[in-house]
Structure formats: C-alpha cells, structure tokens
Structure 1
Amino acid sequence: MRSFLKLTVFFLLTGPLSLPAQQSVRLSSPDGSIRFAFRCTDSLPVYEVFFKEKNIVYPSPLSLDFAEGSSFGRNIKMLTPVFREGADRYELVTGKTKSVNDRYREVKIALKEQTGAGREVDLRVRVYNDGLAFRYELPEQGNRRSWTLMEENTTFNLAGDPKVLGMFLPDFTTSHEGRYSDLPLSRIKEDTLMDMPALFTFPDSVYLAITEAALIDYAGMYLARHGNMLRSRLSPLPGQHGIKVKARLPHHSPWRVMMIGKEPGTLIASNILTDLSPACRIKDVSWIRPGKTDFHWWNGDVVPDTTFAPGINFETNQYYIDFCAENGIPYHTVIGYGGIAWYQNDGISYQPGPHSDVTRPLPGLDMQRICDYARKKGVGIRVWVHWKALYPQLEQAFTQFEKWGIKGMMVDFMNRDDQEMVNIQLEILESAARHHLHIQFHGAYKPTGLSRTYPNEFTREGTLNYENDKWGNPITPDDDLNIAFTRLLAGSTDYHLGGFHAVTPEKYKARYTRPLVLGTRCHMLAMYVILENPLGMVCDYPDAYLGQPGFDFLKVVPTVWDETRVPLAEPGKWLTIARRKGRDWFVGSITSSSGRNVSLPLTFLPPGHYQALIWSDAPDAATHPNHLVKTERSVQPSDILQLQLAPGGGQVIHLRRTD
C-alpha cells in the first residue's frame, strides 16, 4: 500500500503532461502478488506482468490499426496517469457464488498522438489478487464521431516456453467445438487461431489463462502465435473487407484478461470476469429461476411403446412433462421430433427456410395446451429455436412465447462472434428479459462475464460436449478434464449431461438413439458439480433413470451456488470442486482415463459436524462403469477422505451440516 501511494504522489508532485520515454507506470494487486508495468518506448508502448516478483509476461507491444489514419501507437505521449482503488461488491443471480467482494487497484493511462490527427486512446488497467485486465477506451475528442477498427494489436510475450492447453480453429466461423491440444508454446503452428480461454503453465507451476470480459458491441478475440509472442486476432465483420469494429465515440474494447495463480484452482474459483462486467441491467430478477431441464433430442426422442404415436404432438411432450414433474426437474424442452422442428419451417431438417415461423406450431401441436398442462404439473416449458428463424421476428415471437407461458429457450447455430453477432445476442437477451424469458445459447462463443449483466442468460455452449457421443466422436474423461481447465474458466458451460449408459472404450459404438457414453456413472454425476451451469441437462430417456443407482443424486444436486472451492486440481490428471448451497456442500471429483487414489482434505468445510452421502466407483467400475457404491458416514473439517477413482472415474459427496 505504501509503495502504491508513493507512486501516486510522485505523479501528483511532478505533474508533467508527458513522461520520459522509459518512465514506467506500475500497478500492484491489493495483496502485492501481481504487478503490472507500462511504459512508452521509442517505437510502441509496452507492458509487462510479474507474479511474486517473477517476470511472466515480457515487454509486450500494444497498438491499434484504424481505417481513419495510420496505426495508433507510434509517436505517442503518456499523460498523467490517474490511480484509484475499488472493490466489486455485488450479488449474482446465477453462477459459482452468490455474494462477491473483490478488491482491485486501477490506473487510467491516457495516450495521445504527438503528430498527425492527435488522437487519444486511454488504457484502463485493473489488477486483482487473482489476475489483471486492461481495455482500450476511446473518449469523445474534437469533431470525431465514429471510428473503424481494422485490427487490434494486443500481444502477450510470455516468458520462456510455457505449456499450452488450447483449442485450435480453422477460421472465425465456428461453433467452438473442438478438442484441446497440450504442447509447448513454441510448437504452436504460426498464425493458427487459438480459442480462449487458453491455459499456460510455467515450469515452476505458475498458471496463467488468457480470455476476455464484457464483450459488448465489439468483435470476439482469438490468439495466434506470431514469432515468439501471441497476438490478438479479431473476428471480422461479414463481407466488410477486413473491418473488425465500427462504433461511435465514446467506445471501448472488452477487457483483455489474464487470470493468474500458483494453483489452477485459483483460476477456476475466480470471479474476475463478472467483476469486469457491467452491473445487472434487469431491474426485477424475481422471475429468473434456474434449474435442470430434460432434452429428449439427445436420447433420440425415446418414448414408451404404448398407445400413443410418438411425434410432434401433445402426448409425446406430456410423457416427458410427467417425468419431470415426478422427479423434481423444473423444465421440459419442446424441440420437435425425428429431426423436424416444432414450428412451421420450409427448410431442411432443423435448418430454417425462407418462410420459417416460430410463432406457428406445426399442425397437431397445441403449444397453449402443453404450457397449461405443464404449469398444472409445476413444470416450466422451454423451446428450441434456430436463431435465423427467431431473429427476423424477435419481438413478435417473444410476445407470443410469453402469452403461451413459455419460460425460456435454446437459441442454436449462432456459429459466429463478429461484432454483428455479438450485438444480435445482446439484443436477444434484452428482448427476452422484457418478456421474462431465459436464454441458452448453443453453437455460440464463450461467456465473457455477462451473466452478471443479463442473468436471464443461463448458459452457453462453445465447447465439444456429449452430443458428439451420438455420432461416433465420443467425449472422453480426458476431454472433460481439459474443458474444466479451459472453457470452464469463462463461465457456465452447456453440456448434454446425464447419459446413464456408460461403457468401456472398447465397447463404445455410435448410437443416435439411446447413446453410449465413456467414463463411469460416478464421473457423469460429478460433472454436475464440476461444471458451472444454471441449466443442467437431464438428457437421457425416463426409463434410463428410473430405479437406477445415482439418479437420487442427480435429482437433488443444485444448479446455482453460494460458494465455490477447488481443493484438488492437476491439469490432465484430476479435479475436485466443492460447491456450497445454503448449509449443504456438494463435492465432485473426476479423473482422466487413468485410475487414481487421491487424498481429499475437507479443510474447505466451515467448523462443524457433517453427514456425508458418498457415491463412489464400485470396485469393478473399470469393467462395469455403471456400477457404483453409495455409503454414508460422519465427517468433520479435519478429516481426509481417500478417493479410489476408477479409470475415467469419479465420485460425488453430499455433505449436510448436523449441528
């Protein structure tokens, strides 16, 4: 604190309009573990990052390429920096924690061109105890009213050759569904797009993840190795000849975020992305009710062999509504049947045609009757829609959905994150909030903390998940671990959870109906705790669950949390996450395809006595992965549990306070 005030006093006392070329602005985290340094050089401004006094990001240049004039960054002067301290104190409707109180230190560094147009760009920097972030701010200036950005040249000159866990993509048009690669930074093919978040592990077990926060009216960002450093790459506007962003002044970029910690669990538990996002813009949030949902598309639209014909009709939906009502599952999703959407559509399969109309159900489907029946059963109705069918009639559709009594929807096939698509998604969220509808984005880019701003966004995909088990590209336990240390860092992760037909790898085969999954059943149960997701799916068909071991846990596990701790975390090996809801704790542990014995200290528990219900891999789970053992015992925070995890295995614990 003393050094921070001394630096502030230095600038107040000297007060020059510009600083010498090598004068450095320094900013430390409240606990002093992270330090950011910035200076203007004779070429471009650069920044550095230190963690516990070790330089982990070497001098990294920053510049912006505008269509209006030359690149901004050369021949600039730094005006007097403005420092302040603050704290983010807020409540989350959904997420990994309920109440947040994170301190930070901030500096605004005004940069002004000394020649030419004399443009000004402010660099705003915040440093927290678990990471730092900066963004570019373009204030109103002179008679300029707008600007066009051709490229943002943010670089990350990482020290040494850290190990990278990242997903590589062929181009900007993507659903962000791919597998992660684990390799040294130097072995990444140059100029290949890398998705964010990406995890970087330094030799002395320092962990750094790069992503972005508060993506609003801007293009999504990727990373690409160019020479010995990473450069930002922005998603271009469709058909705009390389233009990335068009905006009116004042405007600012999203935050460029570096999550940093000595333990990878620090990154998983961090709230830095919601810290950096705007406050909630929905005045009344009482109608927003997270909870689990069925999703019969995944299981192949299975219905019992009874007197009614399966299809896009009341009876098929009634069957699933009754299952949800009887088992405490808050939502049923109306999708369609057999590859055909529930609404009028002249396209092919689920793809919309020129006359698609999401306000008109197919003949034989009475949406009002379905919603009325579900409401009497205490179940909310959701629908699936293709965004191209929804967006042209957004207000009309949402007005009709609200009239029927629909509670929310999955909006699918977004597959872009250019500025236009980013704004479309925000428009959908804002309109949905006016009509009391929640949103699940599918085929969409990563979260950027905006669940704080628009808590009616329950979840989004942006990851490879168990839907791929249907067609021969099965998700492995190793994939689940990789996703937990990368995509999960960004926030809620939409997965098709709940497959109860687990097999060993040699017995797996693609099945579109009643799909098979890899990993043990306990691994599947643990994923409900591992993943942050206010809308956890229960995707298998009713008879796959009824009377089956482990379904009792699936029915009681919450989808939103008051607190999150990460007692065990080792990328590529194992992960344990403990989450609290009220006085109860739920603990999920998963391992890779290798079996492990792991010691789990319960020191994350507050003082007291607890009764633990434990669902563990059975002794023969390596060959019979659906087998599990349920036990009960008394525990306290000083205890250490021994976890015996089968290959691809897991364990879940429900801890209830008894005093």
Structure 2
Amino acid sequence: MKLFKNLYWVALCFISLPVMAQKRVTLKSPDGNILFSFTVTKQKPVYQVSYKGKQLIQNSGLGLAFKDSGNFAAGLNMLKPIYKTGNEQYDLVLGKTKHVNSNYQEVTIPLVESAAAKRTINIVVRAFNDGLAFRYEFPQQKNWTAYTLTDENTEFNIAGNPQLRVLQFDNYISAHEGLYDKMSFNELKENKLVDLPALFEFPGKVYMAVTEANLRDYSGMYLGKHNNGLISKLSPLPGQQEIKVKAIIPHHTPWRVMMISDRVGALIESNILTSLNEPSKIKDVSWIKPGKTSFHWWNGDVLPDTSFMPGVNFETNKYYIDFCARNHIEYHSVIGYGGFAWYSNNWPGYGEPGTYADVTKPVGSLDMQRVCDYAKQKGVGIHVWVHWHALYPQLDSAFTQFEKWGIKGMMVDFLNRDDQLMVKIQEEILQKAAQHHLFIQFHGAYKPTGLSRTYPNEFTREGSYNYENNKWRTTGISPEHDLDIAFTRLLAGPTDYHLGGFRAVPPNDFKTHFIRPMMIGTRCHMLAMYVVMESYLHMVADYPQAYEGQPGFDFVKNVPTVWDETKVLNAEPGQYLTLARRHGNDWYIGTINNSQPRKLTIPLNFLPDGTYKAEVYQDDNETTKDPNHLTKQNSTLKNGDILTAPLGCGGGQVVRLVKQ
C-alpha cells in the first residue's frame, strides 16, 4: 500500500511538472516605464498595467465565452511563460514614417483548462516604449479544431477617474462618424458603445489611448461600461446578436492596444499599430503612387458657364482633369453627377441600393475609356467612386475591367459595419485590388488598424465626422472638432477628411450650402490640416475657380501626402497641435488652433544642420474679418531658431522648409 502511494505521488508530480504555480508574470517595456503584471485566479486570469509606477489599469479579467463549449476563464492552469526580446526594422510604403525601428519585450503565457476538454489558449503580450498590446492565440490542438465565440470578456478596469475623449454609439451599425464627448470616466454611461480609439488623460498628464491592431477575420471591438470598469464589446455577425466570431483553429484575435505616454504627442508619432501587423503581402509596390485627388461631389459638382451639357460625360470630367494636370494633382475622381453614379444602376441615389447595378458598364453618356486615355495623356490618374453593394457581387470582373480601362483606384463607400464578415470582405477587396494594381480608399468604414503595412494599396479610411458635414450641418465643423479628431481618431491612422474648402467665414456667418459649402476656421487652418491630418490620398475637394489665383493654393499644390519622419512639437488636447513632417530633405510644419486666439513658439531644434528656405503662411490682423486672409513670408531658418505662430480664432500656420 505504501509503495502504491509513493508511485501515485510520483506520477502526480510528473503529470503536473509543466504547470507553474499560479505566480505573477511581469513584463516591462524596453525603457522600463511600462509594466504589465499577470496572474491566474480561480475565477479568471487578471492583469494590471502601470506607467512610471502609476497604475493605469487595475485588476482586469481576461476570458472568452463560446457557444457550445462554455467559457474559458475559471479553472485554468498557467504553463511556463516564454519570454522574447524583439527588434524589427522595416520600411513602410505609405506612412507617417518611412523607416521604423520597433523594439519590444514579449511574453507568451500558455493557459490550459484543468478539467473538461483541456483546451489551450495563449495570451501573448508585447511591451513597447510607447504602449502595450496583447492578444489571445488559439494554437493547433487535437481536441479543438474550431470555435464559435459569443463574447470576448476582456476588461479594462481604469484606475481613478481620468478625463475621456470618446465617440459613442447606440448600436453596431454606423459609419463611425460623430462628435466627441469630453467627460470624466465616472460620467460614462453603461448603455453606450465607445468606439476606438478612446483617449484617457490621467492626473499628472499621463495619456492612454485604447484601440486595436491587425483586425483580420474577426469582429471589430468597442468598449462598454461594466462594473465601474470597461469591457470589450464585439460587433455581432449579421442577422442576429449572439454570435460574434466563427473561426478555424489555429487562429488569433486582433491585438488589444494601449498607447501610453506622459507626452501626448508620442501617441501621434507612434508606429505601434503598423508594428503589430504583418509585412507587405504585395511584393511589387512600384505601382503604388500616393497623392492628392479632386472630389467634385463635395463642392456640388460645380462647373463654370459651359458650351456643353454638365453631367456624367467626358466634358465634365475633362474640366476637372485639366485642372488636376495644371496643378500637379495626381488623381481625378470619377463619381457621377447630381446624386447619380457613373455606372449603370436603377438606384434612387448614391447611397440607396436598388435591384440592379453593374460597375463594368458606365451609363450611356460616359465613355470611361476615353476619360482614362485623356487623363493618362495629361499625366493624371483616374480614381472612381463605387458603392460596395454594387462592387462586391462582381469583384473579379469589375477589377479586371477597371485595370483594362486604366483606372488606378477607387473609393469604396457605405460599408457601415465592422462585423467579422465585413472585415473579411474588406480584406478580400484589398487582396483582389492589389492583383489588378488598384488602390483602395474606404468610406463609411471603421478605423484603421495598421493594415496599410500589410496591404499598402489601402490609401486611407474615412471613419471620421469630417467636412462633408458642412454641406448639411447648420453650424459647421468646428476647429475644436478638428483637434478632437487629431487626438483620437488620428491615433489609429489615416483619415479622409474632405480637405480643401476655400470659403472660410466667421462662425456667426456660417450657412448651410450643399453647393459651394462654407468653412469655419481660417484659410491657414485649412492649409495646416494637410500636414496635421494623415492621409495618403488627401482631397482637393473644392472646384477649380475656388483655388486658382487664391492665396495658399501654391502650398496645397506642393504638400506631399506621405512622410519619412513625423515629430509633434506642440500638443494640448482641445487647444492646439503642431506637427513637423519630413519628406525627403524638406520639412512641413502645420499648426492648428481652437477658437481662442493665441501665440505659440515653435523651436526648430529638430532640424538637421544646414539652412532652409522657409515659406510661412499665417493668420494676421485681418483674419478676424476675413478668415481667408493670410500673409506669406519668405525667410531663411536653421536648427536652433524659434518660429512664432500667431494664431487667430480657429486659426493656423503652415511652413514649408526647403533644404538649401
């Protein structure tokens, strides 16, 4: 009997050997400022996050709920964690930075059920100097080959009562557009969905933004108030509310990302999202040409007095192509006219699907081949607008025809969902578009998650309440909202903001104009937005006569849309923001202001040695009466100089520095 007992304990110890005692696992960022702490309790795994000793995330649970196989949370054993030091250097085809040096510390924490099916899930954590990310990984295993997820119970139990900048929705169907709410964490309501990114400002000016990276074959995530904290909320698959994700194992979730710093500008500079995505799947990227584009829908399809009938025809498009060619604007958008699309359909308008559409057949008045041939002759690329409902049913034939015509890319619009099916549809569009050398601009779409590294033919996404709303909004988009976008949505990546409105008025004079919309914020504010807002296909959305001969248009013609380096020089959420971006040897500095006039100083100690010819566009004393008024000054600047930015109400300043 004694021998049997001894053998029993030897066997038990042998079976349990790989399982660690439930001790604490920690991971620090390379600079030691960010600390992730993890342990397994009887009820669920929990984690904490701190920055420079200040707790940001208190004990927060991790777990998953499955439809047919129960929850993965209680009764888990932790196997031996696997640590790794990572250093990845890579170049971006499109980005705020050309060369990225990504350093991180990583730990993989295997969790296995102590009973039942003994399923295994790994928690993989990466700590960077500017943030922390983790995800659930489902390794291949004998007794578990697929899953149906009903909830991802990832908690973010926020420490204290920080100030929030958040975009909230009532349901999962949206274009991800709205005005941001500013409130304390305790004021957040439980019945709202918080869109990502969400910005948290802790006492002592420590900032944390929560978002996600590498969203592929999974459902988009929101946050919801839960037990005085936050919990993940996943967009359900269409037609029901219970099931969020269906997947074959091996599989993994997107990264759950916390961007963290005591300098809010570091969040804007961060490349953490692209670093959490895979390298480019497009081997030959020589055809990928970022730039600016016309978009005459915004201005109301304005034409001068003509000798031809305006409409969906060659002559109307020729007018805008000629404008683009004269001013070195890389793309012209073929959209339609008067609310009706350029392709055959029986729809009542741009955004209202009917029973028939064929994007391979232009309407009878439009010769698409002639338009593309003429644009090519003029050195302009053609970019078309399409509703996704019209495009997706004929994806292969459409892209084949687009490539044959010579189209370079397209805006895919009215997506308005981020469930797993829609996420997969968008990746399929990117994949197949790349095969035909087509770029994509997603509209009515969820935020970026760094996928432009993997598919650099993704030029931009909308997902922001932008200047298109000036066509029908009674008060116009405010300079404060521009700043909200820059400190929240912009953290996720490029946004299409319908830039280029050249008719600024004082706020009290704003009127709703569907044709020739008005703007709030000065002309210099608009110029600076081309530097502040990240997009690889910025619009020049007004009509030709609104630009040519106008002060500041020379800057719009010259400003690039991709960058080799980005630095934030001044930043105060809700107040002002100054970004410096380098393209080749030249620098562009953009500053936007809220509605309170102020004067900022901009140290130029980031400049390399040498002198720069400076073109400075700024507000002046006349701007209060006429916000389109600006002054342009030429000077020579160098490292160590200090630039002064006098900013009017809703003002701005923009500087072009050309290396001499």
User: Do they fold alike, i.e. is TM over 0.5?
Assistant: yes
CA drift of 1:158 comes to 1.3
Residues 191 and 226, structure 1, Cα contact 8 Å, conserved in 2 = no
SS in 1 for 2:432: helix
CA drift of 1:116 comes to 1.2
Aligned match of 2:357: 356
CA drift of 1:617 comes to 0.6
**C-alpha offsets along residues 183-202 of structure 1, whole Å, 9 cap, x if unaligned?**
00000111310000010000
Cα distance in structure 1, aligned partners of 2:56 and 2:472: 42
Cα distance in structure 1, aligned partners of 2:310 and 2:186: 55
SS in 2 for 1:319: helix
Aligned match of 2:237: 237
CA drift of 1:608 comes to 2.3
Cα distance in structure 2, aligned partners of 1:464 and 1:114: 48
Aligned match of 1:487: 489
Cα distance in structure 2, aligned partners of 1:42 and 1:145: 26
Residues 333 and 382, structure 2, Cα contact 8 Å, conserved in 1 = yes
**C-alpha offsets along residues 596-634 of structure 1, whole Å, 9 cap, x if unaligned?**
111111122122222211000121212210000000112
CA drift of 1:481 comes to 0.2
Cα distance in structure 2, aligned partners of 1:83 and 1:122: 13
Aligned match of 1:382: 383
CA drift of 1:241 comes to 4.1
Aligned match of 1:8: none
Are 2:288 and 1:288 equivalent residues in the alignment? Answer: yes
Cα distance in structure 1, aligned partners of 2:220 and 2:88: 25
Are 2:49 and 1:49 equivalent residues in the alignment? Answer: yes
**C-alpha offsets along residues 515-543 of structure 1, whole Å, 9 cap, x if unaligned?**
10100000000000001100000000000
Residues 600 and 644, structure 2, Cα contact 8 Å, conserved in 1 = yes
Q: Percent identity?
A: 59
CA drift of 1:472 comes to 2.0
CA drift of 1:101 comes to 0.8
CA drift of 1:656 comes to 1.5
TM-score by length of 1: 0.97
Cα distance in structure 2, aligned partners of 1:579 and 1:183: 31
CA drift of 1:657 comes to 1.8
Aligned match of 1:460: 461
Aligned match of 1:653: 655
Deviation larger for 282-291 or 598-607: 598-607
Deviation larger for 603-612 or 447-456: 603-612
Cα distance in structure 1, aligned partners of 2:261 and 2:628: 36
Residues 491 and 532, structure 1, Cα contact 8 Å, conserved in 2 = yes
Aligned match of 1:125: 125
**C-alpha offsets along residues 80-102 of structure 1, whole Å, 9 cap, x if unaligned?**
00001111211111110111111
SS in 1 for 2:80: coil
Deviation larger for 34-43 or 545-554: 34-43
Are 2:548 and 1:522 equivalent residues in the alignment? Answer: no
Amino acid at match of 1:372: D
Amino acid at match of 2:521: G
Amino acid at match of 2:437: H
Amino acid at match of 1:97: T
Pairing of 1:263-274 with structure 2 (within 5 A): 263-274=263-274
Aligned match of 1:403: 404
**C-alpha offsets along residues 150-184 of structure 1, whole Å, 9 cap, x if unaligned?**
00011111110000000001100000010001100
**C-alpha offsets along residues 228-261 of structure 1, whole Å, 9 cap, x if unaligned?**
1111000000124410000000000000000001
Aligned match of 1:7: none
Given the superposition, is the C-alpha separation of residues 587 and 16 from structure 1 closer, same or farther in structure 2, using an over 3 Å criterion?
farther
Are 2:331 and 1:331 equivalent residues in the alignment? Answer: yes
Are 2:144 and 1:147 equivalent residues in the alignment? Answer: no
Cα distance in structure 1, aligned partners of 2:627 and 2:652: 10
**C-alpha offsets along residues 474-508 of structure 1, whole Å, 9 cap, x if unaligned?**
21100000000000000011110000000011110
SS in 1 for 2:459: strand
Aligned match of 1:4: none
Pairing of 1:158-237 with structure 2 (within 5 A): 158-237=158-237
Amino acid at match of 2:356: H
Cα distance in structure 2, aligned partners of 1:90 and 1:491: 17
Pairing of 1:547-562 with structure 2 (within 5 A): 547-562=549-564
SS in 2 for 1:479: helix
Aligned match of 2:13: none
Name stretches of at least 5 consecutive residues in structure 1 with no aligned partner: 1-14
TM-score by length of 2: 0.97
CA drift of 1:53 comes to 1.7
Aligned match of 2:10: none
Cα distance in structure 2, aligned partners of 1:606 and 1:224: 46
Aligned match of 1:545: 547
CA drift of 1:19 comes to 2.7
Aligned match of 2:371: 370
SS in 2 for 1:104: strand
Cα distance in structure 1, aligned partners of 2:18 and 2:53: 30
CA drift of 1:68 comes to 2.4
Aligned match of 2:8: none
CA drift of 1:398 comes to 0.3
Q: Which runs of 4+ in 1 moved over 3 A?
A: none
Cα distance in structure 1, aligned partners of 2:261 and 2:337: 47
Residues 16 and 80, structure 1, Cα contact 8 Å, conserved in 2 = no
Amino acid at match of 2:107: V
CA drift of 1:16 comes to 4.9
Residues 105 and 128, structure 2, Cα contact 8 Å, conserved in 1 = yes
Pairing of 1:33-72 with structure 2 (within 5 A): 33-72=33-72
Are 2:641 and 1:636 equivalent residues in the alignment? Answer: no
Cα distance in structure 1, aligned partners of 2:126 and 2:523: 43
Aligned match of 1:134: 134
Cα distance in structure 2, aligned partners of 1:87 and 1:509: 53
SS in 2 for 1:488: helix
Aligned match of 1:596: 598
SS in 2 for 1:526: helix
Cα distance in structure 2, aligned partners of 1:634 and 1:314: 46
Cα distance in structure 2, aligned partners of 1:463 and 1:117: 44
Cα distance in structure 2, aligned partners of 1:565 and 1:148: 43
Aligned match of 1:277: 277
Q: Say which of 629, 633, 640 aligns to 1:627.
A: 629
Pairing of 1:299-310 with structure 2 (within 5 A): 299-310=299-310
Cα distance in structure 2, aligned partners of 1:634 and 1:328: 26
Cα distance in structure 1, aligned partners of 2:653 and 2:106: 42
Aligned match of 1:26: 26
Residues 162 and 185, structure 1, Cα contact 8 Å, conserved in 2 = yes
Given the superposition, is the C-alpha separation of residues 549 and 241 from structure 1 closer, same or farther in structure 2, using an over 3 Å criterion?
closer
Amino acid at match of 1:19: M
Cα distance in structure 1, aligned partners of 2:647 and 2:503: 19
Q: Say which of 567, 582, 588 aligns to 1:580.
A: 582
Cα distance in structure 2, aligned partners of 1:655 and 1:589: 14
Name stretches of at least 5 consecutive residues in structure 2 with no aligned partner: 1-15
Residues 470 and 511, structure 1, Cα contact 8 Å, conserved in 2 = yes
Residues 117 and 143, structure 2, Cα contact 8 Å, conserved in 1 = no
Aligned match of 1:249: 249
Pairing of 1:491-506 with structure 2 (within 5 A): 491-506=493-508
Residues 63 and 153, structure 1, Cα contact 8 Å, conserved in 2 = yes
SS in 1 for 2:136: strand
Deviation larger for 64-73 or 509-518: 64-73
SS in 2 for 1:406: coil
Residues 119 and 143, structure 2, Cα contact 8 Å, conserved in 1 = no
Q: Say which of 613, 621, 644 aligns to 1:611.
A: 613
